[in-house]
Structure 1
């Protein structure tokens, strides 16, 4: 996924979930993907079902226990590509 698509997806996420829960999002241009961490199970389902289902995203999902001092669990999502042209919607 190129950097433009990564930027578009970040903006789409900002508009789509509007601070409903805590998450981190990082571009990974070297690997052509977007790395997202959320700290609630509801956050994972909202992102995957509502956003990624809509845009036809290809992603992997992982879970890490004892992520840091604040968070006992973190859900990691790596998006490698998606089908919908988001530039029309942001």
Structure 2
């Protein structure tokens, strides 16, 4: 939940303040097709609650995060900063594991 809220702030900035359009690509469309397949299989599942739980995880951890990242990281310099931040965070966590 926290990462979704964190990415929603710059998304609102791009959409409301800068008046940019949403970005939707072919990969996002394929993710929605896969979601439809999951929904069809969940309709025939023996344990519907487990199927719904797995679909919810896919929507939150897959579709929503992909949508937000694609719409927030809009330039190469921003992508470089994101990669540098992820590398730094990974290094710090790796260092903590050694400590």
TM over 0.5: no
Which structure has the highest strand share of the two?
Answer: 1
TM-score under structure 2 normalisation? 0.30
TM-score under structure 1 normalisation? 0.32
Which structure has the highest helix share of the two?
Answer: 2
The structure with higher relative contact order (CA 8 Å, sep 6+) is: 2
Larger radius of gyration between Structure 1 and Structure 2:
2
